[in-house]
Amino acid sequence: MFEPENDFERALMRASAEPSARPGFLRELMDAEVYIILTSDKGFVPGPDGRATVPESAQLTIATAKRGETVVIPFFSSPARARAWLPAEHLISPEKVGQMFARQPGLSFVLNPGSDYGKEFTPDEIAQLLAGNFGGGPQHMVTDQPLQVMLAHPSDRPEELIAALARELGTVEGVQSAYLMLAQRADKSAQTWMLGVEHAGDWLAVNEAIGRAAAPHTLAGRALDATPLNDSELSQTLRTGIPIPIVRPSLFRTS
């Protein structure tokens, strides 16, 4: 039975039950204080106050676990979760999640292993979090360097996503057309949706409309990147994708 011990654990439970709460939880996670386990190659010495101390010249190491052949670093939402996972002698050290992720690039982490509420974070997910992508909406692609992207037509049309994009983009004045494809970016291991939008006006309004359409149930487990259509080779290919029928709101309503 998982009884929450702090506000962070309550937010974790809420995010587990409510997909709409997950972006907010991930934002909170990056500033949260969590706990890691440190082990000593020379053990620990009991202090006069009952607390363990580290012998001189001892080397402290972050405790790790393995998932198959992958090494993961466990971290915990409370000291009690850490003690329950590793009963052997250890130290528990507080950490800020964002700083911890940034110091260990390319590694996987797992929150609360062995607990009813936790989550594994892959290197790709961590890179997205460090870049400020919390899954609450599309990412607007802007780059000064050539970006290698392979585009493809999906074998199954994402009808819910197409309908949602058509409805929401139709509310934005200046949107002329939009096209959807699958994308495989050189800097990501997973496929994403790529949306090209031809518009005249403020991109912020376009981005907000896409964000309203990009609910978890419409994305089918993929992230969504969005880019303005221009004269680039990427845009030329995107124009061959699935056209999004821009649905303008009707001036008349029937009751």
Give the pLDDT confidence of 190-229 residue by residue, as tens digits: 788 899 999 988 787 888 888 888 776 677 778 788 888 9
DSSP state of 135: S
Residues 234 and 143 in one domain: yes
221 — alpha (psi -120 to 50), left (phi > 0) or beta?
left
- Is 160 found in the same domain as 95? no
Average per-residue pLDDT for the chain: 82
Same-domain check for residues 62 and 177: no
Is residue 253 domain-resident? no
| pLDDT at residue 143 in the model | 42
For the segment 136-163, the average pLDDT, to the nearest whole number, is: 73
- pLDDT of residue 42 exceeding 70, the answer is no
Of 87, 103, 130, the residue that ends a domain is 130
189 shares a domain with 81: no
Residue 182 shares a structural domain with residue 81: no
Structure tokens at 69: 């052949």
Q: Which of 155, 164, 163 is nearest to 210 (CA)?
A: 164
Top pLDDT among 122 and 166 is at 166
pLDDT at 239 over 50: yes
Indicate whether 115 belongs to any domain: yes
What three-state secondary structure class fits 141? coil
Q: What is the pLDDT of residues 59-110, one digit of tens each?
A: 778 888 887 778 899 999 999 999 898 876 778 889 999 999 998 888 889 9
Average confidence (pLDDT) over 46-58: 63
C-alpha–C-alpha distance, residues 231 and 240, integer Å:
14
Q: Take residue 198 and report the two structure tokens written for it.
A: 């031809």
Query: According to the model, what pLDDT value does residue 209 have?
Result: 86
Q: Is residue 155 part of a domain?
A: yes
What pLDDT score was predicted for residue 170? 92
Instruction: Please give the residue range of the domain that contains residue 119.
Output: 7-130
Would 1 be classed as within a structural domain? no
Taking 3-state DSSP, the helix, strand and coil percentages for the chain, each rounded to the nearest 5, stand at 30, 25, 40
Whether residue 248 is contained in a domain is answered as: no
Same domain, residue pair 100 and 157: no
Query: Same domain for 115 and 182?
Result: no
How, if at all, do strands 224-228 and 242-243 pair?
unpaired
Domain total in the chain: 2
Residue 2 lies in a domain: no
Q: How many helices (H) and strands (E) does the chain have?
A: 9, 15
Provide, rounded to the nearest whole percent, the portion of the chain with pLDDT above 90: 32
Q: Which residue has the higher pLDDT, 64 or 33?
A: 33
Give the end of a domain, one of 110, 130, 150.
Answer: 130
**Residue 41 domain flag:** yes
Residues 27 and 65 occupy one common structural domain: yes
Domain membership flag for residue 62 = yes
Last residue of a domain, one of 78, 95, 130: 130
Query: Given this model, what pLDDT does residue 203 score?
Result: 81
Look at residue 251 and tell me whether its pLDDT is greater than 70: no
**Same domain for 105 and 16:** yes
pTM: 0.53
CATH number of the domain residue 157 falls in = 3.30.300
- The predicted pLDDT at position 147 comes to 58
Looking at the fold, whether 21 and 79 belong to one and the same domain comes out as: yes
Query: Does 186 or 86 have the greater pLDDT score?
Result: 86
Are 64 and 88 found together in one domain?
yes
- Same domain? For 66 and 166 the reply is no
